[in-house]
Amino acid sequence: MEQLDGCELPLAAWESAVLSARVGDYDPEWLDRLCFSGRVGWARLSSPQHTNARAAAPLRTSPIALYQRENLEDWLCLASARSTTEPAGAERRRRESPRGFASGDASKSIELSSATQGVRDALDVGGALFFTEVVRRAGLLPSQVEEALSELAALGFVTSDSFDGLRALLIPSNKRPTFGRNEGKRRRKTNLASIEFAGRWSLLRREMISQVSGNGAESSARNSALEKFARVLLRRYGVVFRRLLERESFPISWYELGRIYRRLEARGEIRGGYFVGGVSGEQFALPEAIGLLRSIRKAPSNGELLTLSAADPLNLQGILTPGPKIAAFTANRILFRDGLPVAALEAGEIRKISDASVSDLQIETALRVGKLRPSLRPYYK
């Protein structure tokens, strides 16, 4: 969670492809515990592109971030503020980036349905509420409240105490099985998420960022948030350079980050230099990352095959490695051999990326056969 702090990925990718690829025998209950303990939270941090809620809110593919709660205010500051220090032309290039988004709180221009607006108003007045309390205060049917919460979560207007409620919204209420008193004891690890017992729902308050504008505090808050994000990027990638920002959703320029990294280099905290071949421009690295790179370069090749979802932050095809980019969708996959891309599954079609000696059967099996854990299949299959 420290490495992926503030990283926005399609909701369906987090547990099915990203966390389960990094944590052995991943159990969704672990993420819920981190959320309930107050250490980790979830939310959409970036602003939606569309003004119509239904057009902007397919929850399964919505960009959702997991973050350490102590950093939420910093990430909201970066997501809602526009850079005022970048040089001429930088803002236009960022705006034209495929991962760019409109800065500021888009809630004023989003067209919400009456039911969705009713749920939002209930949370605005009542604060953090359990699902049954939202139903009562909004005067709506449970199914209407579920649909409204799904839209609000996808738009970045609400969050909840646990990831369990978000998981539950991926399954239509009419497809969730009901269990009797004794049947519940036999469910064990195959429990389906329950939105009724997933903790409280609350508004993600972006306005707390705008309250400090106009008196110099906004600039100070953004500078502090920028340095924190610069350090997170170093933990995430080990080596940081301009093109990695294409995989990040915050509207931050390399001009801003470069000033921070040069200052950290001058203090001796990080190293500047040329660490990754084929990448132009400035590069900065953690001292320990340099040692790891050297050890990997000296290690003999063992032909290890590894499959990753294209939604994974490690999808650096076209950024770190040559060739066209692979769209960052959960269903797309990339096969690596000894860390180099071999083939990709994109839009249901397999294509080879290199001439590595991997058989067609191995490629087909690695890219098409999933390894989704049984406890996750009800939500992400």
Q: Are residues 40 and 138 in the same domain?
A: yes
Q: Are residues 319 and 200 in the same domain?
A: no
Closest CA to 85 of 219, 212, 216, 210: 219
pLDDT at 109: 66
Q: Are residues 40 and 60 in the same domain?
A: yes
Q: Are residues 45 and 133 in the same domain?
A: yes
Asked whether residue 233 is domain-assigned, the answer is: no
In whole angstroms, give the CA distance from residue 201 to residue 165. Answer: 9
Q: Are residues 109 and 182 in the same domain?
A: yes
What's the whole-model pTM score? Answer: 0.84
pLDDT at 98: 35
Asked whether residue 227 is domain-assigned, the answer is: no
pLDDT at 298: 86
Contact criterion met (CB below 8 Å) for 48 and 106 = yes
Q: Are residues 179 and 38 in the same domain?
A: yes
pLDDT at 217: 65
Contact criterion met (CB below 8 Å) for 311 and 355 = no
**Amino acid occupying residue 367:** L
Asked whether residue 3 is domain-assigned, the answer is: no
pLDDT at 323: 84
pLDDT at 234: 97
Asked whether residue 226 is domain-assigned, the answer is: no
Query: Who contacts 71 (Cβ-Cβ below 8 Å, separation ≥6)?
Result: 5, 6, 228
Q: Are residues 332 and 375 in the same domain?
A: yes
Contact criterion met (CB below 8 Å) for 49 and 340 = no
Asked whether residue 76 is domain-assigned, the answer is: yes
Asked whether residue 2 is domain-assigned, the answer is: no
Q: Are residues 36 and 116 in the same domain?
A: yes
Q: Are residues 45 and 128 in the same domain?
A: yes
Please, is 325 exposed, middle or buried when counting C-beta atoms within 10 Å of its C-beta (0-12, 13-18, 19+)?
middle
Range of the domain at 292: 240-298
Q: Which of 249, 276, 298 is the last residue of a domain?
A: 298
| Segment holding 380, helix H or strand E | helix 377-380
Query: How many domains does the chain fold into?
Result: 3
Asked whether residue 176 is domain-assigned, the answer is: yes
Asked whether residue 225 is domain-assigned, the answer is: no
pLDDT at 188: 43
Q: Are residues 254 and 170 in the same domain?
A: no
Query: Who contacts 66 (Cβ-Cβ below 8 Å, separation ≥6)?
Result: 1, 4, 5, 7, 14, 31, 40, 41, 42
Q: For tokens 């503030």, what's the residue?
A: 6
| Segment holding 307, helix H or strand E | strand 305-309
Q: CA 180, 185, 189: angle at the middle one, nearest 5? A: 115
Contact criterion met (CB below 8 Å) for 302 and 338 = yes
In whole angstroms, give the CA distance from residue 34 to residue 40. Answer: 5
pLDDT at 97: 38
Q: Are residues 314 and 280 in the same domain?
A: no
pLDDT at 190: 45
Q: Are residues 141 and 47 in the same domain?
A: yes
pLDDT at 178: 52
pLDDT at 71: 96
Tens-digit pLDDT string for the chain (381 aa)? 999 999 999 999 999 999 999 998 899 999 999 999 999 999 999 988 766 656 555 899 999 999 999 999 999 999 986 544 444 444 444 433 333 333 344 445 678 899 999 999 999 999 999 999 999 999 999 999 999 999 999 999 999 999 998 998 988 766 665 544 444 444 444 456 678 888 999 998 765 554 444 456 678 889 999 999 999 999 999 999 999 999 999 999 999 999 999 999 999 999 999 998 888 899 999 999 999 998 988 888 888 899 999 999 999 998 988 888 999 999 999 999 988 899 999 999 999 998 888 888 899 999 988 778 777 877 877
